[in-house]
Each structure stands twice: as C-alpha cells, then as structure tokens.
Structure 1
Amino acid sequence: MPYAGFWIRVGAYIIDAIVLAVVGGIIGGLFGGAAGSANDPMGFMAGGSLLLNLISIVIGIGYFAGMESSSWQATLGKKVLGLVVVDENGQRISLAKGIGRYFGKILSALIVLIGFIMVAFTEKKQGLHDMLAGTLVLKGAPGEYGTAGVFD
C-alpha cells in the first residue's frame, strides 16, 4: 500500500489549519474571541472561554472525525493532496474510530509533537494517533483499498 509520508501529511494539515482558522475567525468574531494561530487554528485556547473551547472541540471532531469517516475518507487538505484515511484492513473508518483518532491527535501534540513526528520513522507511516485508532493514511481515492462500508 502506498502510505502517505510525513511531509505530504504536513501539507494536508496546513490546508486544514487554514480552513479551521477561517472558521475560527468567523466564530471568534461572533463570540468576541480572537482568530486562530498556527498552534491553535481555532483560536480559542488562549481566550480561556470554556464555551469557545467546547465549540472548538466540537468543530474539530466534526471536521476531522466527520470528514475522515465520510465517503470522502479525508479532510479537505487530504482530499486536495489525494490522501485517504482507512482502517488497517483498508476499509473506511467509523465515526467512533474517527473520534478516537481525533483525541489521539491531542495526545500526539501533548508529548511535544512526537506522536506526529513518528510518521516519518514508522514502517507504515503511522503517528501515535494512527496506532491508537488502528488507522492508516494512504495515497489514493476513496474506496480504492476496500469496499465494505465505503458506499453505505
């Protein structure tokens, strides 16, 4: 399988961060918060508002878990760069697995980004969040690696 390496995944995340920064800026403007930064694309952590932090998490889950478990099998950034998220059998992931992967990303970030850097050094190009959720990021199109659940 053509695993997606570190740099192409960084590129996809940059695209996603731009999308989320725009959304964060709009929502922040509506609620009186600040727009996002590179470390906090939604821009809510520095503001300290519990409501904005919860909104940020809900949007993150909706964006990442929702899109990666959808028929696209990818966020906008991954879609643009021709990547898909699959389980270890090449099948489309469930929403529950997507949510687990999202929270695994938080853990990957908390340990000084080492969970993300692991992508560059593991055989299947998996980060800690991928290992915890049992997912792979591959170069390809939705449904290319398996069919069960892809066209539901």
Structure 2
Amino acid sequence: MQQNPEMDYVGFWPRVGATLIDTLLLLIIIMPMLIAIYGRSYFSTDSLFRGPAHFMISCVMPPLIQLAFWITLSTTPGKMAIGAIIVDAKTGNKPSAGQCVKRCLSSYLSALPLYLGFFWIGKDSRKQGWHDKIADTVVIRRKTAAVPASPGLPLQ
C-alpha cells in the first residue's frame, strides 16, 4: 500500500494506550466470571492453573473476543477510542478473516522474545509489529478534513 495522504500509521504509544483500554474492559468482563465460579479465594491461591473454567475464561476467551472485533469491525474498543483501525497493508481495505486469525496467532510470536515484536512498532517506518508484518496488516487512523467555521461564529 502506498502512503495515502488520508491515512496515518498508528505508532507504539497510542497502541499501548489502546491495549490498556482493551485489557481493562476485558477485566471488567472476566473478573466477575472468575469470582462467580471460584469465589473470593481465587485471589488467595498461588496456583497458576485453577481449573478448566479459569483456562477458558482467562486464556481462550480474550483472544476470541479480540478476533471477533477484528473480523467484524477491523478494530477493538481500545483502538476505537484512539480512532484506529486495522487494514490490509497492500490495499488499505478491511483485512480478511484469515489475516485476522494470522495476526492473532502471530501476536504470540511478537511477545515471545521479550515483546520485541511489539517494540518493533516504534522502529518500523509503517509502524508494523511482527504480527502485522506476518499478517500483512497495518494499523491506521483516517485523517479527517478540517471542519469549516460556521458563518457568524467567531474563530477562537
């Protein structure tokens, strides 16, 4: 995809902010479910694995929710908050479901070597992490035209 003057690549720090928003929203969903199943003792155990419900709710459900947002809306609530969407790197169109699945799975590869694949976003000219490169996607903001001043209203 050529650099389009109507689009900006979204860099590392805005994407960190979007991820924090997504994480908080997921916690609002996940924690009540875990407490309902395991009770308040969920927080007092040192066990990493608390049971099949814990695995499904904490490890399987979040990436599935994320994937559902990517496939249907090309974004997540956190990315919506910063005005960002995921697009195909070649065409600028909505990514395919296959690209979204590949992006989701390859995000684990981006995380494995000390999150280097995510830090790569800060270095890359198109702000792509390794998962974006593997899935051939980019995260962009569409530029909006300046809103013309209304007649009769003073400019500030």
TM-score band w.r.t. shorter chain: 0.7 to 0.9
In 2: Cα distance, 1:24 partner to 1:99 partner:
22
5+ residue gaps in structure 2? 1-6, 144-156
Q: What's the TM-score, normalizing by structure 1?
A: 0.76
Q: 2:97 aligns with which of 79, 88, 95?
A: 95
Q: 1:53 to 1:8 in 2, by over 3 A?
A: same
Q: Could you say which residue in structure 1 is the equivalent of 2:81? A: 80
Count of residue pairs the alignment pairs up: 131
User: Is contact 2:132-2:138 (8 Å) kept?
Assistant: yes
User: Is contact 2:12-2:127 (8 Å) kept?
Assistant: yes
User: Is contact 1:115-1:129 (8 Å) kept?
Assistant: yes
Q: 2:140 aligns with which of 135, 138, 141?
A: 138
Q: 1:21 to 1:131 in 2, by over 3 A?
A: same
Q: CA deviation at 1:60?
A: 2.1
Equivalences for 1:1-152 in 2 at 5 Å? 1-32=7-38, 34=42, 46-70=48-72, 72-88=73-89, 89-140=91-142
In 2: Cα distance, 1:125 partner to 1:68 partner:
18
Q: More relative contact order in 1 or in 2 (CA 8 Å, sep 6+)?
A: 2
In 1: Cα distance, 2:53 partner to 2:109 partner:
22
Q: What's the TM-score, normalizing by structure 2?
A: 0.75
SS of the residue corresponding to residue 2 of structure 1 reads strand
User: Is contact 2:34-2:57 (8 Å) kept?
Assistant: no
Give percent identity, aligned residues only. Answer: 30
5+ residue gaps in structure 1? 36-44, 142-152
User: Is contact 1:66-1:95 (8 Å) kept?
Assistant: no
Q: CA deviation at 1:5?
A: 0.4
Supply the AA of the counterpart residue of 1:122: D
Q: CA deviation at 1:123?
A: 1.1
Supply the AA of the counterpart residue of 2:101: I
Q: CA deviation at 1:62?
A: 2.5
Supply the AA of the counterpart residue of 1:14: L
Q: CA deviation at 1:48?
A: 4.6
User: Is contact 2:67-2:104 (8 Å) kept?
Assistant: yes
Q: 1:48 to 1:129 in 2, by over 3 A?
A: farther
In 2: Cα distance, 1:99 partner to 1:60 partner:
13
Q: Could you say which residue in structure 1 is the equivalent of 2:146? A: none
